[in-house]
């Protein structure tokens, strides 16, 4: 950090500033990511997980950047083997994992050669 930047921060704190966080900037808020766009992207990708970001954006009528941002930030998804998959398991998937595990436990306890 330069000396002039240090002096500027010192002056800001002397004037009563309490944090080093970024101040809100003036201007129009982003309208490219809203609930409607996220729902469109979610519906399209759940219909066919093998679509590219460009194809989802074209089908949903939104920009590629907004579509990509919807995937990575709003919908916690990423691409695995040419498919978009959720980063976290859904409640149904968690319940299914528990059920399958409970089915396997008696076999594992009673059989020495299970694995």
Domain count, the chain: 1
- 107 belongs to a structural domain: no
DSSP lists the bridge partners of residue 100 as none
- 114 belongs to a structural domain: no
List of the chain residues with pLDDT < 50:
none
Q: What pTM does this model have?
A: 0.47
- 67 belongs to a structural domain: yes
SS3 content of the chain, % helix, strand, coil (to 5): 55, 5, 35
Which candidate, 42, 44, 64, places its Cα nearest to that of 53? 64
pLDDT of 86? 65
- 108 belongs to a structural domain: no
Domain hosting residue 44, numbered range: 32-87
- 74 belongs to a structural domain: yes
pLDDT of 13? 86
- 21 belongs to a structural domain: no
Q: Could you tell me how far CA 50 lies from the centroid of its own chain?
A: 18
61: CATH: 1.10.10.10
pLDDT of 28? 77
């Amino acid at each position: 950090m330069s000396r002039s930047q240090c002096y500027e921060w010192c002056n800001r704190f002397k004037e009563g500033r309490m944090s080093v966080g970024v101040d809100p900037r003036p201007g129009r808020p982003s309208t490219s990511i809203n609930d409607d766009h996220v729902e469109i992207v979610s519906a399209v990708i759940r219909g066919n997980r093998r679509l590219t970001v460009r194809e989802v954006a074209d089908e949903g009528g939104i920009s590629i950047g907004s579509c990509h941002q919807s995937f990575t930030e709003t919908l916690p998804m990423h691409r695995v083997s040419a498919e978009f998959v959720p980063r976290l398991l859904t409640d149904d998937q968690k319940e299914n994992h528990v059920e399958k595990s409970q089915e396997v436990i008696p076999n594992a306890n009673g059989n020495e050669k299970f694995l």
